Amino acid sequence: MENERGDKKKKVSKIPACWIILATSQTHILFMSKQTTHIHRLIADYLKENNYLDTLRQFENEHGNPIPATKLLDESLSDIINDRIQYNTLLGDNKANEGVINVNDELSSELKQIITQQFSNWITPFPRQPSKLIDIDGLVISSCHDKDNELIYLSSNDCKVYVVKQNNIVHVLKTPVVIKKILVIDDSDKVVLVGMNGILYLREKGKLQEIDQFQAHKRLIVDAKSIVFRNQKYLITLGWDFHLRLIMLHSNRGDKNEVQRFELWSELKLQQQGSCLDVTVYQDQLVIVLGKTENTLLDVITMSANNSQELTLVHKISLNDAEFTAAGFSPRCLTIENSGHVPLIAVGTSHEPYMRLIIVPLRDLSHEPSIKRNQIIKNLNTMSPQDRYSQPIIAWRVQTPDNNKASGVWVMGDDGTIRGIDIVEDQVIVELKDGHQGKIKDFITFIDENSVEKLVTSGIDREIITWK
């Protein structure tokens, strides 16, 4: 190979001279400014090293100043470009698995079958247009949707409960304590207000007239859910007093929908503080899935249908396949999707700096083995930032009439961003950023009377927003 003078030279690099200009997005600046930058020096070093001396002289003439031929931190232009090409190649190879602990390749055939039969890609359309719902003075603590009456209930930190219909406040109730959670009781005209003092308040829907109250726990109620099992209505409450309680909602003899009072039906003393729970009906049993602090095992607890009131721990599900190493996380939020053959448990973890989403199945209710391992279907980085004080908030996307598969998970962020996770592509597929400034405190998702999927989010910025 000959240089521009006709001299013989050694072959140093395969990068053409034209790449010199293409290597930087700042090329147009180079010929407009007389200031010599590290980019000029790298190009001059490349030309000198490869014996493009005429091109170097022309480059200096057009620049207007001599250019020292130097490397940048001992890296030449060739090194920098080749490193970038290699990085982009690796990035392309890993893009599909970005933020994922890749367990898919090692899944059992049973877990792969669950993915095939019960998972679908993120469905469009989805809620994305924000609008203000209402303005209130306090900070929203809890919210829920009453599908029978198309009402939204909101509790606030100033001891008030708001009843909202079509963007209007139709009733306000002043309560003796802050209401931590509001539960709409299915197939009835009642709601339950869960007080920060451990008391449950039974109220009529709409006007919130008082019916009954019950001291469920001596201290704070960490979490609570409602369910109908064999035509009987129950509440499941998790207390700061290390008790899990099953509470029956008694009805009038003539009308099972007319709930009148609470009754403690069963309880279980916990050895470790619970952090979150959800409940479902599976294989004709009432099933409670319980997460605990500083523990990567989920407790699966049942009450069978054979007229037994006893709550029984049947087994545990491991969220950490490397459980004999330092775990460093625990479940802080969980929700069950039970429209398919096998219930799916989505767990929001305490990982920092980003919450992880772990999905495991509830495949059976057998007692053996006592710990179900190798159950993780998905372990995804949600890119939702959090710290040690964060409370993750997640929910399965509600299903539409034309899709009965699990089509993704909503994640509410401390940064005010709502993220949608595609559980087939294993990545964040949606980011809604135009609603809140700061942490999202609570949210609900539902299908309205017009069969439109909606979200209602409440943030520490005191904004209450409907997405549709």
DSSP state, residue 252: -
pLDDT recorded at residue 19: 46
Distance CA 419, CA 123 (A): 14
Between residues 88 and 213, which one has the greater pLDDT? 213
Contacts of 246 (CB under 8 A, 6+ apart): 234, 235, 236, 264, 265, 266, 267, 286, 303, 309, 311
pLDDT recorded at residue 335: 98
Distance CA 440, CA 80 (A): 42
Stretch 181-191: mean pLDDT: 94
Between residues 99 and 108, which one has the greater pLDDT? 108
Between residues 20 and 178, which one has the greater pLDDT? 178
- Residue with tokens 């602090």, as numbered in its chain: 293
pLDDT recorded at residue 331: 96
Distance CA 316, CA 372 (A): 6
DSSP-derived 3-state class of residue 29: helix
Distance CA 238, CA 293 (A): 13
The strand pairing partners of 466, in sequence order, are 131, 456
Answer yes or no: is pLDDT of 384 > 60: yes
Burial class of residue 213 (count of CB atoms within 10 Å of its CB; 0-12, 13-18, 19+): middle
pLDDT recorded at residue 161: 98
Answer yes or no: is pLDDT of 464 > 90: yes
Length of the chain equals 468
Contacts of 308 (CB under 8 A, 6+ apart): none
pLDDT recorded at residue 78: 80
pLDDT tens across 345-382, in order?
999 999 999 999 999 999 989 888 889 999 999 999 99
Among 267, 312, 281, 316, CA closest to 295: 316
Stretch 249-261: mean pLDDT: 72
pLDDT recorded at residue 7: 47
Question: Domain spans of the chain?
Answer: 19-95, 104-467
pLDDT recorded at residue 323: 56
Stretch 252-271: mean pLDDT: 81
Structure tokens at 149: 């009456």
pLDDT recorded at residue 77: 81
Q: In whole angstroms, how large is the CA radius of gyration of the chain?
A: 30
Instruction: Find the range with the poorest average confidence among 59-73, 205-219, 348-362.
Output: 59-73
pLDDT tens across 134-166, in order?
999 999 999 999 999 999 999 999 999 999 999
Distance CA 100, CA 170 (A): 46
Structure tokens at 303: 């009450």
> Parallel, antiparallel, or unpaired: how do β-strands 440-447 and 453-459 relate?
antiparallel
Structure tokens at 443: 């949210």
Q: Where are the beta strands (DSSP E) in 72-217?
A: 130-132, 140-146, 151-156, 160-165, 168-174, 179-184, 190-195, 199-204, 210-215
Q: Percent of the chain, pLDDT > 70?
A: 83
Q: Please, are residues 458 and 154 in contact by the beta-carbon 8 Å criterion? A: yes
**Model confidence, pTM:** 0.77
Between residues 400 and 274, which one has the greater pLDDT? 274
Confidence of residue 9 (pLDDT cuts 50, 70, 90): very low
Confidence of residue 22 (pLDDT cuts 50, 70, 90): very low
Phi, psi for residue 118 in degrees, rounded to 5: -120, -5
Between residues 96 and 170, which one has the greater pLDDT? 170
Q: How far is CA 198 from CA 185, 210, 238, in A?
A: 19, 17, 10
DSSP state, residue 97: G
Stretch 265-279: mean pLDDT: 95
Answer yes or no: is pLDDT of 25 > 90: no
- Mean of the per-residue pLDDT values for the chain? 87
pLDDT tens across 101-115, in order?
455 677 999 999 999
Sign of CA dihedral 424, 427, 429, 431: positive
Q: What CATH number should be reported for the domain whose range is 104-467?
A: 2.130.10.10
Q: How far is CA 188 from CA 200, 231, 250, 286, 420, in A?
A: 17, 11, 11, 19, 32
